[in-house]
Amino acid sequence: MPDLDNPLMRARKTAEERAASAQDRNRLWWERLPMTYADWAADDRLPAGPEELKRIEDQLFAASPFLRTRFDFTRFRGRRVLDVGCGTGVLSCRFAKDGAQVTAMDLTGAAVALARRNAAAQGLDALRVVQADAEHMAFPADTFDFVFSWGVLHHTSDTGRAFREVCRVLKPGGAGLIMVYHRRSVAYYGHGLYWLLLRGKIFSGHTLGTVQDFYTDGYYHRYLTGDEIAALLRDAGLTPTRITVTQYEKKIVPFVPRWLDEALKARFGMCLIAEFEKPGA
């Protein structure tokens, strides 16, 4: 029996009861618990107005040194950008504010509604938001100059198929960035061993892989290595150009000095970022 005091497990049980197909279970999980950076157990996780949407933006950039200091949104001025799995639309809006021609897409109606509210609140009328499945994108081939996906495609039912769709809709010579969860991370082993050993899930047959259900967001949640994401990209017809490991702002291990914290994050951080190109320009 699932632990029904755990909001992630309640969402899983509801999805399994109400949906037969793999991707419908995925969609229903996220409809129940949209990504708003609120506590998963909070009664009301939806932002009430523009001020709370701005708080989500501030929270995301404050927590992510890679997005804040290492990714240049202004490079895409005038270019066609697709944000796959846009959530509340924070990053879609950032691309649009810096001059990109943005299409934001998400699997769920909840996220599409939030992203549209966010774009309207910021006067970004040209930002297009659509409900679409990353495994079956409703766009013509060779449409976008840049495809971006931040913490999403490890949550879809068939990650390889989603990567192939990224390749299909990307123009020859186009580029992109995908962030997924990193399996060789302190978070994966630390949280996994906590749930297995201290919470006793090992005694009900769980492994490091299956115990994720208790603490990782999403109906599906794969943790990948650098070699695995590079292989997925190549299999999809894309060329990896850089693989980066990073972590959120909070220290990876409490009380370690800053230099050691940064070194650990660069090797054992939770965020695995793959940059890539589509050959054939």
Task: With beta carbons less than 8 A apart as the criterion, state whether 220 and 154 touch.
Answer: yes
DSSP E strands: which ranges in the chain? 80-84, 101-106, 128-131, 144-150, 170-182, 223-224, 239-246, 271-277
Fold designation for 7-184+218-253+270-277: Rossmann fold (3.40.50)
Taking only the tens of pLDDT, the chain with its 281 residues reads 557 689 999 999 999 999 989 999 999 999 999 999 999 988 888 998 899 999 999 999 999 999 999 999 999 999 999 999 999 999 999 999 999 999 999 999 999 999 999 999 999 999 999 999 999 999 999 999 999 999 999 999 999 999 999 999 999 999 999 999 999 999 999 999 999 999 999 999 999 999 999 999 999 999 999 999 999 999 999 999 999 999 999 999 888 999 999 999 999 999 999 999 999 86
Other C-beta atoms lying within 10 Å of the C-beta of residue 249 = 11
Domain segments of the chain as ranges: 7-184+218-253+270-277
Show the tokens assigned to 140: 């013509």
pTM: 0.95
Alpha carbon distances (Å) from 78 to 84, 101, 146, 261, 264: 19, 6, 11, 38, 37
Which residue has tokens 């799995």? 85
Task: With beta carbons less than 8 A apart as the criterion, state whether 264 and 252 touch.
Answer: yes
How would DSSP label each residue in 249-272? SS-SSTT--HHHHHHHHHHH-SEE
Residue 39: what residue type? D
